[in-house]
Amino acid sequence: MSKAGRLVVLVSGSGTNLQALLDASADPAYGASVVAVGADRDDIEGLARATRAGVPVFVEKLREHPDRAAWDLAIAARIAGHAPDLVVSAGFMKILGAPTLEAFPVLNTHPALLPSFPGAHGVRDALAHGAKVTGCTVMLADTGVDTGPIVAQEAVRVYAGDDEAALHERIKTVERGLLVETVGRMAREGWTVNGRTVTIGGVR
């Protein structure tokens, strides 16, 4: 059974999910701590949040490598330098390659109830489909796009008159809470994966 005491969090933007994890991990009872924050670009609020919290940061830019394979190896090496138990992709806008996915469990979030509405426009697609309920998913990443084993989900109602921005904001609020809860449980109780079934602390 794996446990998730040491977290490396990857960000590409404002880092609101990162902040939620930083706030939660300030309590020793939470069971997990953010040991480093990585990004694929400079000058973002996510890195500033980490710096203010005294957490080491690193940046690995795709354009500074000859190809994607070289970047995959480089970011995997940077992550490995912090010996994480779990990597959390928190608004990270790059798909991680095999060097990272084969070395570490990677937790990701998606603003829909997978397997419905995968991909970059989950909120927009749910609205276009006329869904009455959508939500958010926490999953273990694999080599596909939003295809990894599902760890946790929570529903969000779609209201008449919702536009993409309003619905997405409600989903993000729920997502932050679900991510914090899930990571904390994985850290305190451990987890196992059997095929597509993820069990935390003996409870599916």
Could you give the 3-state DSSP secondary structure of residue 115?
Answer: coil
Pairing mode of beta strands 133-140, 106-110? antiparallel
Q: How far is the first Cα of the chain from the last one, in angstroms, to the nearest whole number?
A: 13
144: CB partners within 8 A, 6+ apart = none
Q: Is 110 one of the catalytic residues?
A: yes
Q: Which position among 65, 110, 121, 168 bears the catalytic label?
A: 110
How many C-beta atoms surround the C-beta of residue 142 within 10 A? 14
Pairing mode of beta strands 33-39, 57-59? parallel
User: Which residues, in sequence order, are bridge partners of residue 17?
Assistant: none
Tokens matching residue 103: 């070395």
Pick from 62, 131, 136: nearest CA to 92: 62
Single-letter code of the amino acid located at 6: R
* Residues catalogued as catalytic: 110
